[in-house]
Structure formats: C-alpha cells, structure tokens
Structure 1
Amino acid sequence: MSTLPWNVLIVLSLSASTWEIRTLYTSGSSSPKCVVTLMLEIAPSFWGRWKRRHSNFDKSIPFALLSQVAGIREYFAANPALTSELPSTVVKSKASETLIIQSEHEDSELGDEFYDALTRALVETSELVTNSSPVTVDPSHFHGTLHRAKTQNDQNSWSAPGGEKFMIRGKTYLTDYHKVVGGDPLLELLAVDWFKVNERFDSVALHPKSLVQSEAAKKLPFILVINLQVPAKPNYNLVMYYAAERPVNKDSLLGRFIDGTDAYRDARFKLIPSIVEGYWMVKRAVGTKACLLGKAVTCNYLRQDNFLEIDVDIGSSSVARSIIGLVLGYVTSIVVDLAILIEAKEEKELPEYILGTVRLNRVNPDSAVSI
C-alpha cells in the first residue's frame, strides 16, 4: 500500500472566517435572541490521505470555531444589559474579514419558496407602445470597457442570460405568495462598463464619452442606466446599459417608475442576485432573495432626455459594504447573475416581469478602466 512521503507539499486555500448573525424569532419570549454561525471555507489539494492518517484537523478546527462562538454566548450571558435597538450591527475582528447580517431589508415575505413553474407565466403588458414601429437595436454599435463574452468560459466578461433562473411574483402572488419562473427581459442589455475612480462617480450618462451620449444611443426610445458604485480602494463603478426598442407607455408600471418620485422608485426598484459559480461562503452571503435596493442603500436618480440613470451607492449601507467586500475578495473566481425589475404591489401590476439581466464572469478588478 502506497503512502504519501513525509515531505509532500500540502496546498490549502484558506479563506477568512465569516460570521453570520440571524435574528431568532421565538413565540412567548420577549427577550431578543439570535443564531450566531462562524464559517471557514477550505479548498484542499492532494491531502485527503494525509489528513485521514496524520491529522486531527476534523476535530481541532471545528472545536476552535465552536469555542469562539461559545465565547460570545458566555459573554452576553454574563452581561445581559448589552442589547441593541438597531436592526443590525456590523463588527469586524482581526480574525474575520466580514460579517454577514440578516438585514431588515431582505425579502422576508411569507411563502417565499422557489416554486418550479411547469409553464412560463403569460405576461401581457402594455409597458411599451406597441403600435409604434420598433427600433433596431444593434449591439455592434455599442461598446463598453468590459467585453461581451464570446463563449461560456470567456472570463472577465459579461453576457445577457434569460430570466428562467429567477423567481418572480406570479399573477396570484397577493393571495398565495406563489412565484413563477421569469421570462425574457423586457429591455436589451447593450454594454457594460467597468470603471475605477478615486471619488464616487455619479451621473455617468452625462459624461461626454458615455455610451448614452453616442449618436446611436440618442436614436433609441429609452435607455436604463444602472450604475453600481462599489466602495473600495480605488472605488469601482459597474455600469449596465439597457435599451427599449419602442417608446415606454407613460401609464404603465415602467412609465410610472421612470417619471415617478424618488420615494416611489425607492419602494419599487428591486434586484435579484444569484451566484452561479463561486465559494459557498460567498453564495451564503449574497443569497438569492430579492432586495429592494432603494430601501437597503441610497439610490440617486437622474431622468433626462431618453434615459433614466440609477446610481446605487453600495457604500451607504454597512451591511452591503461588508458583503461587497467579501465578494470583491473572490470576484475573479465568481460567476454572478443579476436580474433587475420593478416590484409589483397591486393585483393589476401582476405578474411581475424582468426588466433586464446580466451575467458577470470572473471579473478582474485590475481590468477596470480609469475615468
């Protein structure tokens, strides 16, 4: 029976530990409680046989993690006066890179299961003016700093997946909370920009070199610009440009969102994330629940000419900042899908539909372009 030599090199990929704190709701108890989880993800290479024979790793590491969590429990048991009136608190320690909080803004609606839809819900909307001739949207006329994927394995790129992997509110959601498989996005993704800046970059669409200012873009009936402002050193901007082939019906849900008040937009602007490939810890942090971005972080809106720009200040929330910090640490090994939609709150607005989607494949921060 062969054995590994004593001097074999064991390669371990060890991520920083991550704390997860979730509120625990218990009936008949007035005292606040929570569940605390400490996670450590390890990606080993060629060490299984060595670990089984010569290491107490399976016992020592879990014991060390459990001891840290138990220490927190004992500390609060000895200091019952230590309570917080805030819905969540972010604390960082030397031993952990990020803390994941179950935020009050997470979609916690009853019955939020992922139901398998046997057939795609028939979405009949009047979001666009159907009696208007469609404008041909030629993607070759639009270019961003992040290139479009040519193959499925093309890294540091973007693509436009369909909505089949996202669950959205169905026609009967207000009565039974059932969700259905999303259909094709209403808007077409034109291009994606990946910028790095020293200061926060607002109003991207007004920049002279912006895609929106091109002659081809000015001919489009409507463009939705999503500017995700990522806090880091340097700061990053992930900018997505979506276009409609027909004018937007002003009386539709999209029309009311475009020309509505900021408060109305904040209450409706929703994003659904999905980590397609990546570390389990990142999948756990990001989740797959829909998030009302206007309620979770600060969103600024710019409505001019034929476009609406939404600047999403991720750094305005300590929770979002911690999660995006974790994601940035692994971004070169992550494939993430995002879906953008307007939340339907009334029966006449159901079923929901997806405005646009994007897939980001192992984006490299070093490839961001200075502007």
Structure 2
Amino acid sequence: MLEQHKRLDGNCKTVLAKSVGVIDATADTVFEVILSTDQQKRYEWDTLICDLELVESYDGHYDVVYGTYDSKYLSRWHSKQDFVFSRQWFRGQDGTYTILQCPAVHKKKLQVPGYRRAKVNPSSWEIRNLNTSMPPNSPRCLVTHTLEIDSASWCRWKNNQNSKFQRSIPHALLFQVAGLKEYIAANPALHHENATTVVHSKISDASISSAEYEDEMQDEFYDAITADSSTSDEESDDDQKLVLQEPRVKLKNISWAITTLALKRTAAPDLSEELNPHVTPITIPSDLHGSLRKGKDDNDTNCWDSPTGKGFKIRGKNYLKDSSKVVGGDPLLRLVGVDWLTVDKSVDRIALHPKCLVQSEAGKKLPFILVINLQVPAKPNYSLVLYYAADRPINKDSLLAKFVDGSDAFRDSRFKLIPSIVEGYWMVKRAVGTKACLLGKAVTCKYFRQDNFLEIDVDIGSSSVARSVIGLVLGYVTSLVVDLAILIEAKEESELPEYILGTVRLNRLKLESAVPLED
C-alpha cells in the first residue's frame, strides 16, 4: 500500500511526499535490501536507478554512493543522468531503522563525460517491526519513504495538465516502497532471513503494535495529495503527533475507552515524596546563571528556557500492564543556568571548576544540584552544561535518591532522555526523533557524586551513531528549537507513573557564541 502526504514548508518552500507500505519481512531484512548496491538485485525492485556504486564508507553508519538513472526512463530528455548522494543510518533502541539520503559532492566522482549531473531529492526511510497476531514466523514491518520536492515543481505538476507528476522522477522514487513489497513477496527466502550487517544498538522497548497502523495494513492506494496544504507532515506522522492525540484503536466498549483515555491524560505522579517533605523549601536565588542567557520570549534566539513537560510522553501508572503513556507534568527540578562552552578536549567533572555555577556562594547553599554535561564532538569540541536545582534535600527513600547515590550500573539502566525538535528542518527531525533513549546504554556516561551535587558527563562522541546525528544537528543548529526532557526510567510498579526531572529548550543556538572554558 502506498500513501502520499503533502506538506508546504513556509521556510524552505518544499513539499514532502510520503510512501507507506507493510512488507512481510523483518526490519533488518528490508534495511539490508535498501542499503545494498548490488545492481541485479536493485533493478528487481527499483525501476529508476540503473546502477549504484559505493564510493566511500565512514564509521559503519555513513557512506557516499554514485549512481545513474535508467536511460530508458529518461529517454524523453535525450540525456544520461548520474548523481552522487550520501546516506546516514541509525538503529533506535526499539529496533527501528532510519536512513537519511542527501545530495552530495565527492572528489572521486566528479562530472562524467556524456552524463548530466542530477541533484538527488533529500529523502528518508523509516523501517519498523510490527507486532501482529500472525504466527511468530511471519514477520512484518512498516516502511515509510519520505521525499522532499521543490514546491515550484510541485505546483507545476499540480496545475499543468501536460506535466504529469506520474511521469516524474520523484513519483518513481516514491514507488520504490511498492517495488520492495513485490520484490520481497517474490523471494520467500527474504521473509525469514536475518540481516548480517546490523547497526549495533541495545533494544529496550517492544516493537510497535500493528493495531496502531490498522488502516495502513490494507492493500489499497490512498492519495492525499489534494489535502489541505496547511496539513503538515508532522501532523500525519505518528512519531510527530501532539502527545495529547491517542493512537487509532477500535473501541469495542465506548464508555470504558473514554474512561481509560481520560485517566491516561490526567494521571499525574505524586512528587511530594521525592524531596524531603519535612524540610521547608528554600527560595532558589534568581542571580544564578551560566554563560548562555535565558530567553526573554519565544522569539528570542541563542538562549535557553525551561518548558513544561506537556510536550513529552512518559510512562503512565498502568504502563507495565498496557504500555500506556501520559503527558508529562512540571519538572521536579528547576533549571537555573546553562553553560555553552568550547573546549580543546572533553572535560569531565566540570562542576569542580572554580567559575562553575556549582562553586558559587549561592550554588554551595542549594540543597541539591543535578549537573548534566553534554560533551559535543566537533571542531572545536563543545560542552553544553545544564544545572538543575532542588529547593529541598532529596528524600532518602525516593527513586531519585536511589539514582543519585546508586551504582553506575543502576544509573546507566535508568538515565533517560527524550528529545523533540520543536522547529527545524524535517530531516533533522527524522534523525533526532521523539523516542526516549537510555543514554547510559547508548553512549558512555560518567557519574561524579560530591557534596550537594551529582554530575553526569555524557560522552556523545563515544557512539558513531550519536556522532553522526549530532553532526547533522550542528549543521542546522541556528534554525533549530530543541526541547529535551531528562528523567529516571520507572521499571517497577511502585515507581510509576514516571516524572520528569528537568527540561530545557535551546532556541537557535549560535556555535560562535560558545565561550572558552578557562583553566
């Protein structure tokens, strides 16, 4: 089944078209087929691309590919066309693959005589395993191919009867999902084949249920090209929906369903016991600050703010029974300062630096400070340091106390981050996603407990996948509004529902505004 959605980006003047299909194979298998450059196999499911050649590969998560389009398909232009594009791929902790494809230039593949160099449309693939009621030896996955199209070309196809979108290269690219479906269906060995080149990542969450994609499971073509142009791609993508919107389900008992959904939306954790309820809260000083200033309003840039938790989904009270998630509430800890620093090399234990907020007179008087030091690999290297303060001491019997004073192994298994790109280029949104990540399982985290603080040093460069994603983010950082939520993952009944430790909004940061960390 194919599905196409339209999105007009007011900033980039582009349209996003989407092709969706359910394929009878594992996500690993489909990922392998898409990445393969074998000409004979490729031609069985891709009628547009004639040849592909791997030019260079980096870190096992990024490569550059040279290819040519089928001259028969392009005969009306009376020319041969070739192209060069880069591919980045990631495997999430839930087993979902994301592949990002962008036009590229490479010194090994300059202009070829007799060919006209074409610019590849930026696109992405998402491949998710589906849990179905079918036998366990019948794997299925949902494949989504999203393609960026210039709005001028789109309008020309839409308004000119003599210029058919069905005859265009973007249309042929979107039909690759249908080609994959037919190719795998015609090769039974692929239905149960396990991939050999898997992006290594520890899987913590179950695959998505096929009930969420019940409509997509039907073999029919759905055309949404004529939909209202105000409908954004994010509104049509399940991962990008507002968290107040529930998955599509069949309601067998309406009154029961309404009650359940209401409970999901209103259930809130009791935070009164996380901090010592017998101690009078102090007034956190307003003169605490870091090198990055707090924003004045939503239109301010190169600044930070601390949003509520309403933009995040976290585990609800009944999560262990029905995997239900709820809208996050207000953070337990208050964000009091942010440092945006340049460093020669990654710096641990930054809280001990004499000019750090923690070492200020006001900082020393706070009952507790959580310091998150996000070490960003680049040239130069950066550190984004977040300071979260409590107005009372931690309750010794709380989950927070178990985390703060627990073992590194316990912390690694519980330290969770949820990202969200509020504003920004759609491909960056695809790369970052909105899924919770156990940072201690994805990258190297070091913990330093002393006096009234706990510092967590997060080495983003310790993972080639994380390095690749952060490299893409830094390329667009001046146009991004990024929200992050930090929490301790709840795994026991007594720990539910989850609560958010702290949040931060980074509003269109400027790389050059980072200040050097003085010795």
Amino acid at match of 1:252: S
1:132 maps to what in 2?
A: 279
1:20 maps to what in 2?
A: 125
Amino acid at match of 2:125: E
Q: Which has the higher contact order (CA 8 A, sep 6+)?
A: 1
Q: Deviations over 1:9-62 (max 9, x none)?
A: xx9789933553535468668699877766543565x67655655977771234
Contact 1:38 1:69 in 2 (8 A): no
Helix, strand or coil for the counterpart of 1:276?
strand
Contact 2:421 2:429 in 1 (8 A): yes
The verdict on how the C-alpha distance between 1:30 and 1:240 changes in structure 2, with shifts beyond 3 A counting, is same
> In 2, Cα distance between the equivalents of 1:232 and 1:68?
36
Contact 1:262 1:301 in 2 (8 A): yes
Contact 1:272 1:338 in 2 (8 A): yes
Contact 1:106 1:289 in 2 (8 A): no
1:88 maps to what in 2?
A: 199
Offset, 1:125? 4.1
> In 2, Cα distance between the equivalents of 1:30 and 1:318?
33
> In 1, Cα distance between the equivalents of 2:150 and 2:303?
25
Offset, 1:280? 2.1
Offset, 1:165? 1.9
Q: CA RMSD in A?
A: 3.6
Helix, strand or coil for the counterpart of 1:281?
helix
> In 2, Cα distance between the equivalents of 1:119 and 1:351?
11
Contact 1:166 1:339 in 2 (8 A): yes
Helix, strand or coil for the counterpart of 2:428?
helix
2:270 maps to what in 1?
A: 123
1:208 maps to what in 2?
A: 354
> In 2, Cα distance between the equivalents of 1:304 and 1:214?
15
1:159-308 aligned at under 5 Å gives the runs: 159-308=305-454
The verdict on how the C-alpha distance between 1:346 and 1:110 changes in structure 2, with shifts beyond 3 A counting, is farther
The verdict on how the C-alpha distance between 1:306 and 1:186 changes in structure 2, with shifts beyond 3 A counting, is same
Contact 2:269 2:499 in 1 (8 A): no
2:170 maps to what in 1?
A: 61
> In 1, Cα distance between the equivalents of 2:142 and 2:510?
35
> In 2, Cα distance between the equivalents of 1:245 and 1:274?
27
The verdict on how the C-alpha distance between 1:55 and 1:313 changes in structure 2, with shifts beyond 3 A counting, is farther
TM-score by length of 2: 0.58
1:41 maps to what in 2?
A: 148
Amino acid at match of 1:63: A
> In 2, Cα distance between the equivalents of 1:364 and 1:30?
51
Offset, 1:264? 0.1
> In 1, Cα distance between the equivalents of 2:274 and 2:135?
47
Amino acid at match of 1:185: P
Greater displacement, 328-337 / 152-161: 328-337
Contact 1:105 1:292 in 2 (8 A): no
The verdict on how the C-alpha distance between 1:167 and 1:189 changes in structure 2, with shifts beyond 3 A counting, is same
Amino acid at match of 2:354: P
Helix, strand or coil for the counterpart of 2:311?
coil
> In 2, Cα distance between the equivalents of 1:289 and 1:42?
27
> In 2, Cα distance between the equivalents of 1:144 and 1:187?
17
1:365 maps to what in 2?
A: 511
Helix, strand or coil for the counterpart of 2:494?
helix
Contact 2:336 2:389 in 1 (8 A): yes
The verdict on how the C-alpha distance between 1:195 and 1:171 changes in structure 2, with shifts beyond 3 A counting, is same
Greater displacement, 246-255 / 61-70: 61-70
Q: What percentage of aligned pairs have identical amino acids?
A: 58
> In 2, Cα distance between the equivalents of 1:208 and 1:55?
67
Contact 2:149 2:170 in 1 (8 A): no
The verdict on how the C-alpha distance between 1:188 and 1:200 changes in structure 2, with shifts beyond 3 A counting, is same
> In 1, Cα distance between the equivalents of 2:155 and 2:207?
46
> In 2, Cα distance between the equivalents of 1:70 and 1:109?
24
Q: Structure 1: where are the runs of 5+ without partners?
A: 1-10, 90-102
1:8 maps to what in 2?
A: none
Q: Structure 2: where are the runs of 5+ without partners?
A: 1-11, 16-100, 103-121, 213-245, 248-260
Amino acid at match of 2:285: D
Amino acid at match of 1:126: E
Amino acid at match of 2:281: P
Offset, 1:169? 1.5
> In 2, Cα distance between the equivalents of 1:165 and 1:311?
25
Contact 1:128 1:249 in 2 (8 A): yes
> In 2, Cα distance between the equivalents of 1:257 and 1:109?
28
Paired residues, what number?
346
> In 1, Cα distance between the equivalents of 2:321 and 2:335?
33
Q: Deviations over 1:225-246 (max 9, x none)?
A: 1111122222221111000000
Q: Deviations over 1:146-177 (max 9, x none)?
A: 11010111111110111122221222221122
Contact 2:417 2:486 in 1 (8 A): yes
TM-score by length of 1: 0.80
1:269-348 aligned at under 5 Å gives the runs: 269-348=415-494
Amino acid at match of 2:498: E
Greater displacement, 54-63 / 246-255: 54-63
> In 2, Cα distance between the equivalents of 1:12 and 1:162?
31
Helix, strand or coil for the counterpart of 1:164?
helix
The verdict on how the C-alpha distance between 1:248 and 1:266 changes in structure 2, with shifts beyond 3 A counting, is same
